[in-house]
Structure 1
Amino acid sequence: MRIWLVNTGEEIPSDTGKPRLLRTGIMAERLALRGHEVTWWNSTVNHQRKEQRASITTIADRPEGYKLVLLYGRLYAKNISLGRIVSQVQNAREFARVALTLPCPDIILCGYPPIELAEAAVRFAISRQIPVAIDFRDMWPDIIADHTSGLTRVAAIPALSYWNRSLRYTVRNATAILGVTDGFVDWALRRGGRPRGPLDRAFHLAINPTPPAQSDIRDAERFWDEMGVAPGGDHTIGCFAGTLSHRLDVKTLVRGAVQLPEAEKQRSRLVICGKGDQDEELRKLGRNERHILFAGWRTAAEIHVLLRRCHYGVLPYFSTADFIVHYPNKVGEYLGAGLPIMTGLTGQVRSLLEMRGLGYFYSEGNEASVAKCLKLISADRSSFATKQQRALEVYKELFDPERIYESFCLHLEHIAATASLQKDVASDHAMAL
């Protein structure tokens, strides 16, 4: 079977720093191993690092067994910016152009957003009578309302009108609506005005089931040893690793950590990995604090080792409409490392953590509440072993990548087979007439 995976927001295996594969990258490898002819459509822009991978649209065969198409888009500096929108429009136009030159797939799986590329994938699929599944991972453009106000929001009205029309078209014409939770699937169906069908399903985000190479792990262990993040000490160690965008409330986390009493600081380590729009401001907030470590963008092996040296993971997300119905990738990642989670996030995440006794909670935007929560975690070290076992059990139940990606692959194959059968029935009916 020929399968196209369309998603531009993830790193690829050849990117700088041995990156961690996410949802589409894992699916590309899994589907290729199942014997399918896979093409992954990505962008020339590495969204995480803000680096340009190629100066023109490029097609190459990957050693992992699939074809990679990098669609040209201009480089942009910020996640929320006109430059990014222009880049995404360029990606969509390049997809529409290049798709006509390649053998047609049997099915297309397209991540959402970006909205322009999703619409382009659906339009192409309809023109060739190809089944297309849209995988919803964000509530675009609804989240614009959470990040704009006043004149900025007024100025965004024409764009919002266009995006809303595009969203309705994409949902109404897609063969299947998928998502990272049932909340995302329901939201998409509601925005598109269509009922839920038998092919519409949710698949939780899950981390890459393939562990890093032992040589990379040894290098990572030396790195964290040199950084003073060592196992078996008296410090209570917490971490966050991800893009430091304004969609995350990392500033409140850092300010709360700064407020800790000096004796508590001596017993604590808070490790923040990643880069993004808030990077410089966060470093200024924590510049005089030895217990707060800004480690920059780290490799997959370094994150793997760090998590196994920590006592808890931090999920510093705002409780926006999209996040309260979401299990961000970090949830499964932390639980898979046996870590309880510190968060101010409400909704599905808090309900799960409360029910399973795996959460430490603070009030969103309240740095005093963060400081109080950090002290509580430090005083709760005797429960870490019990919580580790409980976290691993929840991970296996809800976020096991082996089970999730196996089901995801089977579902794509089912969608393609169903569409093929329907096409054959329609053809036979037409011939009978």
Structure 2
Amino acid sequence: MKVWLIQANEPIPAVDKNQRPFRTGMLAEALLKQGHEVVWFAATFDHYTKTQRFSVNQMVQIEDNFQIQFLYGCRYQKNISLLRIKNHIQIAKQFKRVSRKLQEPDLIYCSFPPIYLAKKALSYANQKNIKFVLDVRDLWPEVFERAVPKKMYWVTNPIFRYLHRLVNQLYRNSYAVNAVSNECVNYVIEKSGRKKKKYDSGYFIGFPNRYQLSAEESLIARAEKVQIIFVGTLSNQINYDLICKIAMKLKNIDFIIGGDGPLSEDFHTLAKDLPNIQFKGWLDANTIQQYMKQASFALIPYYDTFDFQLGVGNKFAEALCYALPPIVLCNGVMKNLILNNQCGVFGKDAHDVAFQITELLDDDIKYQNYVKNAHHLYQEQFDSSKIYPNLVNDLVKLQEE
């Protein structure tokens, strides 16, 4: 089976140095291991490092059955900006141009967003009578509506109404809809009026098991001083104020913050009087692994908004992989997972979170059980070596129908 994977913004381990695979990368690995042919459409502009990989469209041959087709898009610095919209329009146009020259695939598996690229890919699939699976990773335009001040609604409402219509057409007209949870799939179906189909299903993002620590290894590797870790993009999705309030109540615990992003400076300013918040900047995969091994908890510091309530991000899976109890600050799927499996901390205010962490640290047996339960949950539901072969099997069945 020849598969086109469309994902503009993930790191590409075969091209980007010291990067681990994300969702599309793990799916590509699973497809290749089962003997399928893969063409991955990605953007020339690296969303995470904000650098250009290539100045024009570029096809890169990784191995016999694996190619990366880079689509040119302009630079942008802010994730919510007109330049980013321009970038998305450009890569969508480049997909339309490039796709005409390539051999047709048997199946297209398209990450969503961005909206315009998904729209062009669906249009191509319909013209060629190719089955099209939409993998919903983030809920656009909802996340942008949340960021718009109410006083601007009179300007933005017509734009968002148009985008909602466009997105609902994508949802309804895809052969199958996947997402990062079953709850997210159900939201998409209800929002768009789509009739649920056989292969509409949620698949957790998962995390590669080559990083996995057993509960015993995890407990041995912990640093002498308790550390709480977060590594990720410092964007507007993170509740920095709540992190600082928790750190203020837990002054004897180090908060290790890895990564960079558009709100990095704002976070530094908020935390300037908190010496236990330690900023490490951008980290490569090997350094992240070292810090994760030493930590006692992993912070999942996203706002309590409906998009995060419906999703389970890679940071959650990564925490479980290292047998780290996650600290979750929002309701929804992640909260239910840690409470049902007794493997993490949920709280909506600093006092509650700090109290639970202190209580766990004062009870060695309970903490050790949480570590063991986190490891067990990873093995049962978040091991990428199980998730993606199962997804590939489902895609083969879908394509053969």
- Provide the residue aligned with 1:162 in structure 2: 162
Q: Is the 8 A contact 1:252 1:370 kept in 2?
A: no
Task: Give the letter for the 1:108 counterpart.
Answer: I
- Provide the residue aligned with 2:370 in structure 1: 387
- Provide the residue aligned with 1:405 in structure 2: 388
Q: Is the 8 A contact 1:29 1:65 kept in 2?
A: no
2:226 aligned with 1:273, yes or no? no
2:12 aligned with 1:27, yes or no? no
Q: Is the 8 A contact 2:50 2:76 kept in 1?
A: yes
- Provide the residue aligned with 1:430 in structure 2: none
SS at match of 1:3: strand
> TM-score, with normalisation over the residues of structure 2?
0.92
How many residue pairs match? The answer is: 394
1:210, CA displacement in angstroms? 3.9
Paired with 2:164 and 2:132, the residues of 1 have a C-alpha distance of 20
Q: 2:284 aligns with which of 299, 303, 325?
A: 299
Paired with 2:16 and 2:272, the residues of 1 have a C-alpha distance of 27
Q: Is the 8 A contact 1:33 1:65 kept in 2?
A: no
Paired with 1:120 and 1:232, the residues of 2 have a C-alpha distance of 48
2:299 aligned with 1:314, yes or no? yes
Question: What does residue range 168-247 of structure 1 map to in structure 2 within 5 Å?
Answer: 168-211=168-211, 231=221, 233-247=223-237
CA deviation profile, 1:241-286 (whole Å, cap 9, x unmatched): 11111111133202431x23xxx53x42110111112211112233
CA deviation profile, 1:123-149 (whole Å, cap 9, x unmatched): 000000000000011111122222112
SS at match of 1:177: strand
- Provide the residue aligned with 1:424 in structure 2: none
1:404, CA displacement in angstroms? 0.5
Pick closer, same or farther for the CA change 1:113–1:50 going to 2, 3 Å. Answer: same
Paired with 2:328 and 2:133, the residues of 1 have a C-alpha distance of 32
Mark the runs of 5 or more structure 1 residues left unpaired by the alignment: 213-229, 419-433
- Provide the residue aligned with 1:128 in structure 2: 128
Q: Is the 8 A contact 1:268 1:291 kept in 2?
A: yes
SS at match of 1:67: strand
- Provide the residue aligned with 1:100 in structure 2: 100
Flag the structure with larger Rg: 1
- Provide the residue aligned with 1:360 in structure 2: 345
Q: Is the 8 A contact 1:256 1:369 kept in 2?
A: no
1:14, CA displacement in angstroms? 4.7
Mark the runs of 5 or more structure 2 residues left unpaired by the alignment: 213-219
CA deviation profile, 1:151-186 (whole Å, cap 9, x unmatched): 433322232122122112212221111111112211
Pick closer, same or farther for the CA change 1:279–1:42 going to 2, 3 Å. Answer: same
1:65, CA displacement in angstroms? 4.7
CA RMSD for the aligned pairs?
2.0
2:5 aligned with 1:5, yes or no? yes
1:351, CA displacement in angstroms? 1.6
> TM-score, with normalisation over the residues of structure 1?
0.86
Q: Is the 8 A contact 1:254 1:285 kept in 2?
A: yes
Task: Give the letter for the 2:327 counterpart.
Answer: M
